[in-house]
Amino acid sequence: MSADEGWSIPPIIRPRPEACAFDLDRALAAVVKLRAEIPSDAFTAGILGTEREGSAVLLEGGRHALTIGYLIAEAERVWLTSADGRAVEAHPLGYDFVTGFGLLLLLGRLPTPGLALGSSERLRPGDPVILAACGGRAAAVQARLIGKREFAGYWEYLLDEALFTAPAHPHWGGTGCIGPDGRLVGIGSLLIEAESGSGESAAANMVVPIDLFAAIGDELARKGRVDRPPRPWLGVYVVEAGDRLVVSGVAPGGPAAEAGLQRGDLVVAVAGRAVVDLADLWRKVWALGPAGTLVPLLTVRDGRRFDRVLRSIDRESMMRRPKLH
């Protein structure tokens, strides 16, 4: 969805050209609409749907676009459309599960300038940033960085340091986070509740820092993946409920389902070591070795303790590889 399709950001929180030290409209033009089509029998179809929409950011040079990976996971076709309505097809080069980035190769040209990469490391809480979807100023939010801290996701995902921005963009998936110098400093991933400076909870966006892409971008563009041992994947969704780690679901056909884990089970320990929170759980699992490693879990169901051993796999083995048209 773009700002010309029935929604727009309230004018009071849109960015203003006179407040920017760069060409605002030129930078916003690099953010394009993304539409992905996924086969109905794809592994992620039941969770993420077969038609996905969000944003992507054209990178400097115009050949590649960067987005959040879940939008293009197992995509059969991807279309990118600029704010003026011109569209090209794009090939999903790769989805890096460690960072969450998805990289696309444009199969045509868009007459839109790409964004140069900035530095997320240099950002400090309080710094102004812009969260932008496709549609120019009407689809952009003038925000501030409200925090840089660890983020753990229930889907076996962990960032040592993510960016958190507010006010929140309502169409966050794949949005471009533009820094004070007009360069790309991150890609929008989630809408979350975060604590504001006053201690109150408010809607915010979790943004994946661009420095993580800078370290892998060339390799992802050349090979479609990053040469690192794949992490052990369990196919289990775990959420924090107070001081407990609760299984909220398991992936069909995944190691957790095969081992008998069920919704409502508590995860207590990994390989005999107690886990204290979600980040600790994933770190202890990954520390055991690469994909294929046996992962002993101590779980509790209805007050009874169960020792289970899961044979981890590479998450990518469950997914379709994209085909170049």
pTM: 0.94
Q: Answer whether residue 29 is part of any domain.
A: yes
Asked which of 223, 255, 274 is the last residue of a domain, the reply is 223
Asked which of 223, 244, 274 is the last residue of a domain, the reply is 223
Q: Answer whether residue 266 is part of any domain.
A: yes
Task: Quote the pLDDT of residue 198.
Answer: 59
User: Whose CA is closest to 210, among 185, 181, 175, 188?
Assistant: 185
User: Whose CA is closest to 163, among 123, 112, 133, 128?
Assistant: 123
Q: What is the mean pLDDT of each run of 10 residues along the chain (325 residues)?
A: 68 97 97 97 95 98 96 97 96 97 96 94 97 97 98 98 98 97 98 74 94 96 94 98 97 97 98 98 98 98 97 95 64
Task: Quote the pLDDT of residue 272.
Answer: 97
Q: What CA–CA distance (Å, rounded) separates 175 from 297?
A: 37
Q: Phi and psi at residue 19, in whole multiples of 5°? A: -95, 0
Q: What CA–CA distance (Å, rounded) separates 58 from 36?
A: 16
Task: Quote the pLDDT of residue 265.
Answer: 98
User: The domain that contains 261 carries what CATH number?
Assistant: 2.30.42.10
Task: Quote the pLDDT of residue 2.
Answer: 45
Task: Quote the pLDDT of residue 320.
Answer: 84
Count of domains observed in the chain: 2
Task: Quote the pLDDT of residue 323.
Answer: 66
Query: Domain range holding 262?
Result: 236-314
